[in-house]
A and B are shown apart, each in its own frame.
Chain A
Amino acid sequence: MSTAGEVPAFFKSIGSDSPARPRQKFCGMFCPVEGSADSKTLDFDALQAGKERSDGRVIDRQTDISQPRKVEIRESTGKEYLQNLDDKKSDRLLIKGGKIVNDDQSFCADIYMEDGVIKQIGENLIVPGGVKTIDAHGRMLMPGGIDVHTRFQMPDRGMVSADDFYQGTKAALAGGTTMIIDHVLPEPGVSLLSAFEQWREWADSKSCCDYSLHVDITEWHKGIQEDMETLVKDHGVNSFLVYLAYKDVFQLSDSQVYEVFSVIRDLGAIAQVHAENGDIVAEEQQKILEQGITGPEGHVLSRPEEVEAEAVNRSVTVANQTNCPLYVTKVMSKSAADVIAQARKKGTVVYGEPITASLGTDGSHYWSKNWAKAAAYVTSPPLSPDPTTPDYLNSLLSCGDLQVTGSAHCPFNTAQRAVGKDDFSLIPEGVNGTEERMSIIWDKCVVTGKMDENQFVSVTSTNAAKIFNMYPRKGRIAVGSDADLVLWDPDVTKIISAKSHNSTVEYNIFEGTEVRGGPLVVISQGKIVLEEGNLHTIEGSGRFVARKPFPDYVYKRIKARSRLAELRGVPRGLYDGPVCEVSVTPKTMTPASSAKNSPAKQPNQPVRNLHQSGFSLSGAQMDDNIPRRNTQRTLAPPGGRANITSLG
């Protein structure tokens, strides 16, 4: 290399070493140039490396990809340590030389945090002496991930999903997620409040990271409505999930959904929906069991993606009618995502949540010969057997048609799954994904060039915080925000495996997937919980994050619309023409209310009913079964007649 000496080491390292790097087989033609992110800002690491390897040898460089990148964490020592002895509890932390990545921009600055809150951002910060310091070396520092959908410790027919709040949040933190929102699932018949308290108790005692709770509406009556009001006003819940599936258990009818949505809109909350047509699913399940299909493939066969798309379409319609913001959980198929994208184009306030599983894998595994493996993928709506689905959903996520990502982490171990070994409809549903979420999205979307780092932050964190009204406390790196941060290493590669994951289940649905990008350091509540692959989680340290109603991100539009949506009647003169007689009761013996009467409360009859004085109120007098011949045609009187044909 004769030119080696002529080019400054810094520039040389930009281009020269990239082709020599081993190309990961998964990143294809969109593989970004190795280290390209580093060279955008000052990367001391790269500079140093360049200096050391002035002869252009790249072998050294290759090895340090596989090794975990070192982070320099400097503890306070000596005198400084003594100085801070008194306030040992207050955690002070300084991150130097990081590239802060928010959803809107990236910039280089230092961050100083204290007591779990970001206190200062900028260069040359004035901080107390002896503060613990992390040197980020120009790596990306982003808001910690928010997993909007988890079901830790979820009871299901006497069993409980394998990961409790401790295991689950530990896995979340290991993956770079610093906040989870779990679903409270009250059994029908149990009050929302007591179920909520129960979940709070579980989570408070075990959660290692901040959490919040969605509450599922599994039945509908007056008491539920009151509970919802209390939850919104006093308990910091602003999202409720309704089920269009699970017939005879959780499923609500369209009218009930309409009423729930109306209540939710009035309370200023978000309506979430599990969208699958439960009636059709029940019929299909029966049909498929009758055909002798009892294995996990029956699960996906009985829940075709059309059924998901139909329910999404229906809930969008109901949400539109009630002017209620809608949030579709677990978008698993192309067609469901398309329905959401179309609805957004028509202006509906609707958000779609693909999950780690639907972004990272497909439903072909339901046909695995290995029952335990096939069963591990069982979740509802099921993963689509169409192998192009993950790529499609990643594209929609990147272009903004889908906005947030969750994991719907609700794994059961194989023995629990085996409850349904002879009947797929009994297999407990749920897959893992809270740990893998951030890395999968980085690998599938950012590495492939579908989205940039800022969009990555929005779909993994910021949008969730905005929709659920936690922004800017969560989902942003800013002064005053919570000190939930992730130091992200875009180059680290990892092979996901049940052997090394933090969940307790024996199976990982992403087994063997090689992902690029992962957290190097995770800071939750201002404390380092992950560094160099070591987790320092504290059971029970997670706080409940209360969420206020009427999130701006969602309700600004809703409010504007409700002002526009006022309807007015047409002022008309009284109709004074002839009125045909009708039988007071509908002609049949049906116990149901009359034909077009709405079942809702009859409006009090207007006083004008005096005009009907010609009616016999004693009931039908002529034989109702004999149809009137048209010779009985009632001619409108001259006055009325003129009225009829003249104006309009």
Chain B
Amino acid sequence: MSYQGKKNIPKITSERLLVKGGRIVNDDQSFHADIYMEDGVIKQIGDNLIVPGGVKTVEANGKMVIPGGIDIHTHFQMPYRGTTTVDDFAQGSKAALAGGTTMIVDHVIPDPGCSLMEAYDQWRQWADEKSCCDYSLHVDITHWNDSVKQEVESLIKEKGVNSFQVYMAYKDYYQMSNSELYDIFSFLAERGGIAEVHAENGEIIAEEQARMLQMGITGPEGHVLSRPEELEAEAVFRAITIASQTNCPLYVTRVMSKSAADIISQARKRGNVVFGEPITASLGTDGTHYWSKNWAKAASFVTSPPLSPDPTTPDYLNTMLSSGDLSVTGSAHCTFSVAQKAIGKDDFTQIPEGVNGVEERMSLIWDKAVTTGKMDENMFVAVTSTNAAKILNLYPRKGRIAVGSDADLVIWDTDSIRTITAKTHNSAAEYNIFEGMELRGAPQAVICQGKIVVEDGTLHVVSGVGRFIPCSAFPDFAYKRIKARKQLAVLRAVPRGMYDGPVSEFSMSRGGTPSASARTSPTKQPSRNLHHSGFSLAGPTIPDDIPIRPAGRRIVVPPGGRSNITSLS
């Protein structure tokens, strides 16, 4: 397997570690037990374990031991118009570990027209070089044709990618048409992939942006004004419709507004296979800051879909997350420096988009959802780690504390309180969108690949130790249901006798349009077309502009046909 491959840790340092006296919290239950791990894998769980002498021991003192967080959505080292986000894989994964996240899933964004495979290799190279924790990759589909199709196929089969994101926004750039979405979703459904979607109606945004700029609104508030939350909800609705038509599991990235979350929750109630991902930013803060008088501050909140100006949104999304209507959390961590954001100082459409959140994610959810009593510790594990592992088909290797699972653990201190500020955070950005927020709950120790990487606030990270974790196709969590539905969804034609009545004449081409004929689907004609032999194929025999008077031309059905028509069923 490739994850044991290239970056193998030298065997000499084979780490043995015992976590004593912790309370293990999985998504289904919590219990007291010791954990013994070796070579980055959990070997034993239980009381009074028999372990080799001289093993390094961590005393948990009854604190919670949870599976390390999985941040399912990051954009480290993302190239953007010649610059790159300030957090590369080293910086970003360091911040992740500091926050209790032991695995990240980054997005590969190939430029439209470029090969997916090349982009994937590029990202692998960057991440292998620098990542401090295990990682996996989503691949974004930014254009669609047969060669992309083949690349997607080989990415699924050979490269360990099972999730692909499409964009409904960024008109003329990343945006896919409805037909392309339909194609992509059908293809992914066949191959066992997860369709991820950036849901915003790009066409309307483009119109609204032009309108805002015309009105002279050039600041960051224009960003949120041109992307009202309805457009997000509309696109989510559309994506769900297409996914349900194609019987493809859908994953909505970045749920930023109440209305989008509502649509997802309604769809789940109707039985659609859809997962929603709120991000740290939407769970922790709101979009009122876009109106800040401080341009740099306002610009640092720019992300798409934007944070909702409705201040009750974070609470609402936390509730939906707790009730299971939203399934997983990411950070969409994609940080730009103020100087980079200033590219759009005179035009909000040019501001590079992205906010921080990889480090704050776990604490923030703990603070907003667990301390407020919305969810319990097990649900906390589910939304920060287990569900993500299940969707990506990494469960139970990741997302669970069990014998044989990876030794990615967090000893969680429920009482620690810290204040988020750009001064102390591990990101390279000058601004933190959660600046000044006081959060309860933080990792006391983080164990990644069986090694202690965070201990009492001190980071011991090693750049480049992160392994790529391949995700295999057809994750049970999503596809069990999809497969069952596929069996049900077989359509059958009604067996009928041949229609032998009269057939009216018609012209295949509609009026003067150069486009395809009226309701002709682009398919090949069925072979029975022999019955059309009475037709003049040379085009319309009747001049199109002279209306035919139907009353006079009415074709009387012959007796045989007539009785057929009115008689049965």
* A interface residues (Cβ-Cβ under 8 A, vs B): 153, 155-164, 166-167, 187-190, 202, 246-249, 253-255, 258-259, 277, 279-280, 282-286, 288-295, 297-298, 301, 304, 306-307, 309-310, 313-314, 317-318, 320-321, 367-374, 412-416, 418-419, 421-423, 425-429, 498, 504, 506-507, 511, 567-573, 575, 577-583, 586-590, 592-601, 603, 605-606, 608-609, 611, 620, 622, 624, 627-630, 633-636, 640-641, 643-648
Contact = CB atoms under 8 A, between A and B. Distances in A.
A423 B525 contact: yes
B82 A582 contact: yes
A648 B299 CA distance: 12
Nearest to B553: A160
B231 A321 contact: yes
Contacts of A289: 521, 523, 526
Contacts of B206: 255, 598-600
B529 interface: yes
B494 interface: yes
A282 B522 contact: yes
Given A569-B217, A633-B86, A310 B238 contact: yes
Nearest to A315: B234
21 contacts: A155-B544, A157-B518, A159-B506, A280-B179, A289-B523, A313-B234, A313-B237, A321-B204, A370-B565, A372-B561, A413-B555, A579-B343, A580-B337, A580-B339, A599-B171, A599-B172, A603-B213, A603-B218, A603-B347, A609-B346, A611-B345
A374 B521 contact: no
A188 B491 contact: no
B503 interface: yes
B569 interface: yes
B480 interface: no
Contacts of A641: 430
Contacts of B289: 648
B292 interface: yes
Which 3 interchain pairs have the tightest Cβ spacing? A187-B511, A600-B210, A279-B178
Contacts of A572: 219, 293-295
Contact of B569 (A156, A368, A423, A594): A368
Interface of A is mostly: loop
Interface string B495-538: 11101011111111111110111111111011011011000000
B403 interface: no
Interface of B: 77, 79-84, 86-88, 91, 111-114, 126, 170-173, 177-179, 182-183, 186, 201, 203-210, 212-219, 221-222, 225, 228, 230-231, 233-234, 237-238, 241-242, 244-245, 289, 291-298, 336-340, 342-343, 345-347, 349-350, 353, 422, 428, 430-431, 435, 491-497, 499, 501-513, 515-523, 525-526, 528-529, 531-532, 540-542, 544, 547-551, 554-555, 557, 561-562, 564-569
A571 B219 CA distance: 9
Contact of A596 (B233, B338, B349): B349
A164 B549 contact: yes
Contact of A592 (B80, B81, B172, B565): B172
Given A283-B186, A579-B345, 13 more contacts: A157-B506, A253-B203, A255-B203, A291-B491, A368-B569, A421-B503, A427-B519, A507-B565, A597-B349, A598-B205, A633-B337, A644-B430, A645-B431
B238 A633 contact: no
A76 to B, nearest CB: 35
A640 B512 contact: no
B343 A157 contact: no
A374 to B, nearest CB: 7
Given A283-B183, A603-B347, A426 B219 contact: no
A418 B178 contact: no
Contacts of A429: 519
A286 B522 contact: yes
Contacts of A163: 550
A382 to B, nearest CB: 13
B493 A570 contact: no
A303 B518 CA distance: 16
Nearest to A579: B342
Nearest to B91: A630
The CB with the most chain A CB atoms within 10 A, among B79, B237, B557, is that of: B237
Contact of B210 (A156, A249, A589, A601): A601
A306 B267 CA distance: 11
Contacts of B221: 569-570
A570 B301 CA distance: 15
A644 B561 CA distance: 82
A624 B82 CA distance: 5
A261 to B, nearest CB: 10
Most chain B beta-carbon contacts within 10 A, residue among A292, A593, A603? A603
B77 A413 contact: no
Given A160-B549, A289-B526, A368-B569, A295 B507 contact: no
A128 to B, nearest CB: 39
B565 A506 contact: yes
A280 B501 contact: no
